[in-house]
């Protein structure tokens, strides 16, 4: 058993899941980690961006960008901050994050808790990331669906100069009505406002969509010149507490969605969901992902998993 799993994880798992998350971010924002502590160089170029390796940190881990200097040292080839919304919001009531160690899973119903796009822009001003920086954009809870385009546009405009790419998150299960923005008419309006602005725009989709609905999303993405698809978000297809499930139970479905997207489209894919081992990562690459992201796998297995996944990449996808 590796050091993280033997020593660090038991200490963290004595705390409430969200408390441990926040404590870890605070420590990572303060610790002077050696730049190449876990760093792996295995470069790949995707949607016009050079990545030192294809393993990224998924959105949700560092929503407000407070530990950005730590992630390269922990082996990540890119990081996606957010999901951020135009209006700062507290998110849903606690408890809202639950671990299931026996299944290597997490359920969360965070609700896009974040300090807002303007605060993130202030934090990123003057910051130069060592690795590509993606920014995940979501709709503010207070914004009605018929004003969603304006909400996404406002966040994008204030953050445009700070992100290497932008992810349109229309697939979180924890903001009422958000997933309806994956419907063609809503999604087309959002993408029309963001594409063509000099930044790669990606769309993050839910694993719970039917093949037909995924096909509709891909058609809109093609029409609007979207740079890539992130597959997938968390799933509501589970029998645990209300919220989105991530981790090992999502492995099979996330791989199925990536396989389907690759079959139906040649758009670059970031594969995410249930990547708990290097073998899971290689299956994602073999299915057609050009990049992958970790979240729950990182929570359970630490930075060694990042390094092992990055080392295993050999130009797949």
Give me the active site residues, please: 172
Element (H, E) at 269: strand 269-272
* DSSP 8-state symbol, 207: T
Integer Cα distance of 17 and 10 in angstroms: 12
177: left (phi over 0), alpha (psi -120 to 50) or beta: left
CB within 8 Å of 265: residues ≥ 6 apart? 218, 221, 222, 229
Query: What's the Cα-to-Cα distance from 313 to each of 235, 308, 310, rounded to whole Å?
Result: 27, 9, 5
Placement of tokens 């003057």 in the chain = 126
Question: Is the four-CA dihedral 115, 117, 122, 124 of positive or negative sign?
Answer: positive
Query: What's the Cα-to-Cα distance from 38 to each of 10, 41, 130, 278, 293, rounded to whole Å?
Result: 21, 10, 14, 15, 16
Report how far Cα 59 is from the mean position of its chain's Cα atoms. 3
Token pair recorded at residue 199: 């930044």
Strand 78-84 versus strand 55-57 pairing type: parallel
Tell the burial category of 190 from Cβ atoms under 10 Å away from its Cβ (0-12, 13-18, 19+).
Answer: buried
Q: How many CB atoms lie within 10 A of CB 17?
A: 18
């Amino acid at each position: 058993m590796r050091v993280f799993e033997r020593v660090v994880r038991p200490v963290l798992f004595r705390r409430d899941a969200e408390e441990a998350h926040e404590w870890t971010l605070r420590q990572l924002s303060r610790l002077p980690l050696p730049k190449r502590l876990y760093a792996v160089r295995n470069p790949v170029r995707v949607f016009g961006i050079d990545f030192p390796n294809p393993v990224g940190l998924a959105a949700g881990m560092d929503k407000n960008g407070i530990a950005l200097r730590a992630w390269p040292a922990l082996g990540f080839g890119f990081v996606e901050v957010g999901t951020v919304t135009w209006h700062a919001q507290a998110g849903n009531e606690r408890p809202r994050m639950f671990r299931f160690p026996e299944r290597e899973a997490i359920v969360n119903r965070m609700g896009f808790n974040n300090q807002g796009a303007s605060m993130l822009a202030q934090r990123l001003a003057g910051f130069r990331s060592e690795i590509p920086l993606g920014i995940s954009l979501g709709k503010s809870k207070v914004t009605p669906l018929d004003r969603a385009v304006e909400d996404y546009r406002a966040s994008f405009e204030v953050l445009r100069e700070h992100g290497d790419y932008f992810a349109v998150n229309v697939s979180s299960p924890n903001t009422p009505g958000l997933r309806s923005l994956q419907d063609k008419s809503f999604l087309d309006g959002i993408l029309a406002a963001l594409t063509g602005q000099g930044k790669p725009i990606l769309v993050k989709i839910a694993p719970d969509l039917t093949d037909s609905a995924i096909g509709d999303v891909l058609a809109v993405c093609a029409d609007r010149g979207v740079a890539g698809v992130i597959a997938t978000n968390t799933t509501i297809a589970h029998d645990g507490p209300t919220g989105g499930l991530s981790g090992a139970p999502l492995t099979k479905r996330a791989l199925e969605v990536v396989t389907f997207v690759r079959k139906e489209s040649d758009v670059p894919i970031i594969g995410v969901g249930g990547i708990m081992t290097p073998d899971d990562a290689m299956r994602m690459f073999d299915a057609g992902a050009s990049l992958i992201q970790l979240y729950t796998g990182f929570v359970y297995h630490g930075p060694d998993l990042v390094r092992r996944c990055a080392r295993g990449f050999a130009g797949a996808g």
